[in-house]
Amino acid sequence: MHDGALLVQRPADDPASCYAFIGGRLETGELMEDRIRLEYREEMGRQVVRAQYLFVVENRFRTTAGICHSLEHYFSVDLDSHEVRSREHHLVQCWLPLSQLPEYDVRPRVVRDAIVDGTWETRKHLTVPFA
């Protein structure tokens, strides 16, 4: 978050797609903070100046392949610059205004809602309701 906005991304070829938080899958033997730094560098060419652990999200959803159940760790990061431009043709990053965040389809929604209501600062575990 910076200047009243939240940095998110979505597929470049589907402007109707939901927004998602920037991140990636942890590789065996890799540290979470190292993965975060690598994702921002690879996807936008930005350097993470500071990374602070926030909370874990127990995410559950259905796909055509079946049920997905994952643990996602969220960090607050400060970047060396807030001007972002995607380095990956399949992704586009953008800043969404926090004042209008409920109007955007940002997933997981429990994280979006915790940002909107301010509970992201005190909660350590969020769970996506399983539908």
pLDDT of residue 88: 94
How does 87-99 read in b/e, with b if 16+ C-beta sit within 10 Å?
eeeebbbebbeee
pLDDT of residue 63: 87
pTM of the entire structure? 0.92
Higher local confidence (pLDDT), 131 or 39: 39
Token pair in block for residue 83: 């001007």
Judge whether residue 5 has pLDDT over 90. Answer: yes
Phi, psi dihedral angles at 8 (to 5 degrees): -140, 175
The strand pair at 48-63 and 125-127 is best described as parallel
pLDDT of residue 15: 87
pLDDT single digits (tens) 91-123 = 999 999 999 999 999 999 999 999 999 999 999
pLDDT single digits (tens) 27-71 = 999 999 999 999 999 999 999 999 999 999 999 988 899 999 999
* Domain formed by 5-127, architecture: Alpha-Beta Complex (3.90)
